[in-house]
Amino acid sequence: MNKVEEFFERVISVKWGPQKESVDIIDQTLLPGTIKRIQLQDKEGIWEAIKSLRVRGAPAIGVMAAYGMAVLAKEIKTDNYEEFLARYKEVTDYLATSRPTAVNLFWALNRMLRIVKEGGHLSVSKIQDLLFLEAEAIREEDVMISRNIGEIGFELLKNLKKEGQPVGILTHCNAGTLATAKYGTATAPMYIALEKGWAGEDMHVYCDETRPLLQGIRLTSFELGNAGIQTTVQCDNMASVLMEQGKVDIVFVGCDRVARNGDAANKIGTNTLAILARHYGIPFYICAPTSTIDMAAADKTEIPIEIRDPKEITETWYCERMAPPGVDVFNPAFDVTDHALLTGIITEKGMCHAPYDEAFEAIGL
């Protein structure tokens, strides 16, 4: 097992707890200083872990929801199908309130609910067994989805490689292995590059610090550094300097929801990056599993934006409060990048270009 595979094993975002009686996650709020795994087996703990970003990243949230529902369904003690369905739907609706923007949460919950709805002719115990199988299938599919995205992104990196110079990559927030089942989305091209024989020095990844929860500096740099990839952290408002100096060849970012027209919601600050990339002529790609594409949302106006606790800005990451008491705080977790600013959207089914609604339909959405 090579260094990267060893790292993947060490920081699996979501896995089964002992005897599959709980969901085992790495608590991402403690990274990079502490690598701690916790086991969750009640609905309140699973809800809190999603809400507080102990587990985060749209694909990982989907896996968490699937694993969580399988574990929670096992705790519904009844042999009556109608009673089981009613109680199962109550738990589904409860978990759905944890995060509003990441469409994978609802996608996974609905996919698991479909197993229950289609199992009316089966025993409750058989349905419970099928839920565990479906949850595992969701995870395995996510691994392949990320790998496929990485293969497409790697082809872009190969075209940018110059003799004696690393390819300069900018990424925002964390769309890495911690945010998925394995390779990540925006980081997948980098990990695939390592698998294909590139050295860590063949790439130079610039990680935005990323407000509000500093997920770039805490998580992405932690990941890439441990994988041996040359990594530099900078505050979000420094990206234009790097671009002006010619140090950025390409931008890869993840997303939590993509509308039918290609408008893409990602961690706050992504839209700013896209505007800068357009100004400096740098290709800008959204890495999006098809499960994050919401064909029911026509455009950015139909994507809900989560507003988070002001304390994440004023005091969470400081020894003392940094803002004066009583000052107002604007703390949206996401912004939406206009589709016109994108070079393309990389999905596991292929590269999509504008007009995105037609491109999405062409890949079967």
Q: What is the pLDDT of residue 135?
A: 98
Output the DSSP codes for 139-163.
Answer: HHHHHHHHHHHHHHHHHHHHHH-BT
Residue 230 phi, psi (nearest 5): -60, 120
Q: Specify the pLDDT at position 232.
A: 98
Same fold, 3-141 and 148-362: no
In terms of Cα–Cα distance, which of 154, 161, 135, 127 is closest to 23?
135
State the pLDDT at residue 155. Answer: 98
Q: Distance (Å, rounded) from C-alpha 80 to C-alpha 364?
A: 38
Contacts of 328 (CB under 8 A, 6+ apart): none
b/e map of 13-40 (b: 16 or more CB within 10 Å)? bbebbeebebbbbbbbbebeeeeeebeb
Domain parsing of the chain, residue ranges: 3-141, 148-362
Q: What is the pTM of this model?
A: 0.92
Which residues are catalytically annotated?
Answer: 256
- Domain range 3-141, its CATH number among 3.30.420.10, 3.40.91.10, 1.20.120.420, 1.10.3720.10: 1.20.120.420
- In contact, 360 and 352? CB cutoff 8 Å: yes
User: SS3 for 87?
Assistant: helix
CATH 3.40.50.10470 fits 148-362, yes or no: yes
List the chain pLDDT tens, one digit each, 365 residues: 677 888 888 899 999 999 999 999 999 999 999 999 999 999 999 999 999 999 999 999 999 999 999 999 999 999 999 999 999 999 999 999 999 887 899 999 999 999 999 999 999 999 999 999 999 999 999 999 999 999 999 999 999 998 889 999 999 999 999 999 999 999 999 999 999 999 999 999 999 999 988 999 999 999 999 999 999 999 999 999 999 999 999 999 999 999 999 999 999 999 999 999 999 999 999 999 999 999 999 999 999 999 999 999 999 888 999 999 999 999 999 999 999 999 999 999 999 999 999 999 999 99
- According to the model, what pLDDT value does residue 1 have? 67
The token pair at 55 is: 């587990």
